[in-house]
Amino acid sequence: MNKFVTIEDLGLRDYKEIWEYQEVLFKGIIDLKIRNRREDAQLKTPNYFLLVEHPHVYTLGKSGDISNLLISEEKLAQIKATYYKINRGGDITYHGPGQIVGYPILDLENFFTDIHKYLRFLEEMVIRTLDEYGLKAARSKGETGVWLDVGTPFARKICALGVRASRWVTMHGFALNVNSNLGYFDHMIPCGIRGKAVTSLNVELGRTEVSMEEVKGKLLKHFAELFEAELKKETIPNNS
C-alpha cells in the first residue's frame, strides 16, 4: 500500500479547469489499477490532495434538483458566477473566494475500503480543525457535512461534502467556508436542505479575515493523522 499523498496547492483556479484536472488524475489511478489486475503487476497507485479556491460557481450533484438554484442564467452573469451539473453525490453547492476546497484523489485500497468511513474521516478532519479555533462542530444525522449548534434552532453549516468513487478511487471532496461571502448562499437552497443556515469561520470568530494558509496547515495535519498518510507538498504556480 502506498501511504504517500501529494499535496497540490493550486491557488485561485476556474472550477471547470480543476474538474478536468481531477478527472485526469482519477482516470490515471484507475487505469493503473486495471493494468495491475490484467498483468498481475504490483505497480503502486499514487494519491493526491488538491487544495484550491474557485471563482464564484454553483455546482449540482448527479442526484440534485435544479430548482434548488434560485436564480436565472441572467442573474448568474450579473453576480459573475457560473453553474455546472457534475458527477459527484449531493445536491447544490456554492464555491467562491475565501473558501478552502479540497479534492482528495485517493486509491482507498492504499488506506481502507470503506466509503462511509472515508466521508466520516473527512468530516472529522474538519471537526478537529475547527476545534483548534475553539468551535465545537459536529455531524448532523442524515446530512453529510460539518455543522455548528446541531440539534438547535441555530444549526448552521460550515463545510459541505460531496464525493465520487469508482474502483475505490475518490474525487471531488469538501468545501470549508473560511472567509466566504455568505450572500452568495442566498441564491440557492444549500445542499437542498430548507431552513438551514450557513456560516463561515471568520464570522464565527468575529474576525474580518482568517489566515487561509493556517487553516490549510491544520486540515493537512489532521488528514495525515486520520489517514496515517505521509504528505508531500507541491505548490503549483497560479497561471490564471
Q: What ranges do the domains of the chain cover? A: 4-235
pLDDT grade for 192, boundaries at 50, 70 and 90: low
- Using a 10 angstrom Cβ sphere, with 0-12 exposed, 13-18 middle and 19 or more buried, the burial of residue 50 is buried
Provide the pLDDT confidence category of residue 240 given band limits of 50, 70 and 90: very low
| 29 marked as binding residue | no
Across 120-147, average pLDDT:
95
Confidence of residue 190 (pLDDT cuts 50, 70, 90): low
Is 137 labelled as part of a ligand binding site? no
161: alpha, beta or left? (left if phi > 0; alpha if psi -120 to 50):
beta
The span from the CA of 7 to the CA of 103, in Å, is: 10
C-alpha cell at 138: 459536529
For the question of residue 191 being annotated catalytic, the response is yes
Confidence band of 8 (pLDDT split at 50, 70, 90): very high
Residue 93, marked binder: yes
Res. 62 pLDDT band, cuts 50 70 90: confident
Mean pLDDT estimate for the chain: 92
Q: Residue 116: is its pLDDT beyond 60?
A: yes
Which one from 191, 212, 219, 229 is the annotated catalytic residue? 191
The answer on pLDDT for 92 being more than 90 is: no
pLDDT of residue 84: 87
Fold topology of 4-235: BirA Bifunctional Protein; domain 2 (3.30.930)
In this structure, what DSSP letter does residue 210 have? -
Of 1, 7, 32, 217, which Cα lies nearest the Cα of 125? 217
User: Between 69 and 240, where is the model more confident?
Assistant: 69
48-53 vs 197-198, strand pairing mode: unpaired
Whole-number percent of the chain with pLDDT over 90: 75
Q: Is 174 annotated as a binding residue?
A: yes
**What pLDDT does 64 receive?**
80
Q: At 218, is the pLDDT very low, low, confident or very high (cuts 50, 70, 90)?
A: very high
Instruction: Tell me whether residue 12 is annotated as binding.
Output: no
